[in-house]
Amino acid sequence: MRSVSLRPMVEELTAPEVARRLRGEGAPVLLLDVREPFEREFARIEPSIHIPMQEVPSRLGEIGRDRQVVVYCHSGGRSAMVAGFLENHGFAGAANLVGGIDAWSRQVDPAVPRYG
Q: ω into residue 16 within 30 of 0, thus cis? A: no
Q: Could you tell me the CA-to-CA distances from 106 to 38, 61, 66, 68, 93 in Å, in that order? A: 21, 32, 29, 24, 25
- In the residue annotation, 43 being an active-site residue is answered as no
- In what side-by-side order are the strands of the sheet with 95-97? 11-13, 95-97, 68-72, 29-33, 49-50
Annotated catalytic residue, options 73, 94, 98, 103: 73
CA atoms within a 13 Å half-sphere pointing along the CA-CB vector of 61:
1
* Residues annotated as catalytic (active site), given as ranges: 73
